[in-house]
Amino acid sequence: MPTKRKPNATPRPFSESSWLPWPDMLSAGVRIRFKILAELYELIEDAIASRTADIEKTYRAAETDSCRDRNEVEEYGEYLAEELHQLEDIKREASLLHAVSLYHRLENELKTIFAWRFNGLADPQKKHLMWRVHNWKDFQKLTKTHFSFDVASVAHFHAVNKLRCIANAVKHKQGNVTRELHGLTGWPPNRPIEVANVDLKRLREACVRFFSDFSEKAERSMEKMFGNPAKARK
């Protein structure tokens, strides 16, 4: 009967020079994927801006059209104003959903690191631990237990924590400010998140830098715990 492996069983290193896939390679891939998310969001922004410009141009043309009476122009203007309002709603929803996608992407990228850390475990143990990575409190505990550093010490921790709270507010509170998000930002609680306060570009960059620093800390931790990866491959 095979011996049950312990939770801290020595993982298999990626190469003779590192326990994890090379940090530069990991971070480069993450940066590319976040850039793709940014480009997708920019397509939505451009489409909304283009449609808004078309509506404004159409209304100006209607105002100067001598064939239309004043009442008709006003009714048409109300119709176009409603469409503009709908476009603003779409823009808000797209911005908030983009924030959700950023945090979800970061969670999945971090799971890659934990998958390498736990690759020496039996599948049931590994599956259970990997499932816990998506829970913020468990993620911090797992990092402390299996990598021996605090998540709060990772670069851009506060920005990522803010992003997490924004994502949770969108998913669970219809985009209204939660108590936790209020505590971090001072934004009015139980009120819709002001999209103008959500710097998506800064949050995207924070995710990339957070991942890069986390992966470097994780690599150093594994070498300290398990020694030279070249010896472990023999």
Q: Would 5 be classed as within a structural domain?
A: no
Q: Would 13 be classed as within a structural domain?
A: no
- In this prediction, residues 23-27 reach a mean pLDDT of 83
Q: Would 17 be classed as within a structural domain?
A: no
Q: Is the pLDDT of residue 4 over 70?
A: no
Interatomic CA distance for residues 120 and 10, integer angstroms: 6
Provide the whole-model pTM: 0.89
- In this prediction, residues 86-111 reach a mean pLDDT of 96
- In this prediction, residues 107-118 reach a mean pLDDT of 95
Nearest residue to 190 (alpha-carbon basis) of 182, 198, 202: 182
- In this prediction, residues 34-40 reach a mean pLDDT of 97
Side-chain-side CA neighbours of 221 within 13 Å: the count stands at: 20
Q: Would 28 be classed as within a structural domain?
A: yes
Q: Would 11 be classed as within a structural domain?
A: no
Q: Is the pLDDT of residue 125 over 70?
A: yes
The DSSP 8-state label assigned to residue 190 in this structure reads: T
Q: Which domain holds residue 33?
A: 23-232
Letter string b/e over residues 61-72, b meaning 16 or more CB atoms within 10 A of that residue's CB: ebeeeeeeeeee
What number of other Cβ atoms are within 10 A of residue 27's Cβ?
19
Q: Would 121 be classed as within a structural domain?
A: yes
Q: Is the pLDDT of residue 2 over 60?
A: no
- In this prediction, residues 10-24 reach a mean pLDDT of 87
What is residue 191's predicted lDDT score, i.e. its pLDDT? Answer: 97
Q: Would 6 be classed as within a structural domain?
A: no
Q: Would 106 be classed as within a structural domain?
A: yes
pLDDT classification of 3: cutoffs 50, 70, 90: very low
Interatomic CA distance for residues 157 and 150, integer angstroms: 10
What is the domain count for the chain? 1
As beta bridge partners, residue 176 has 192
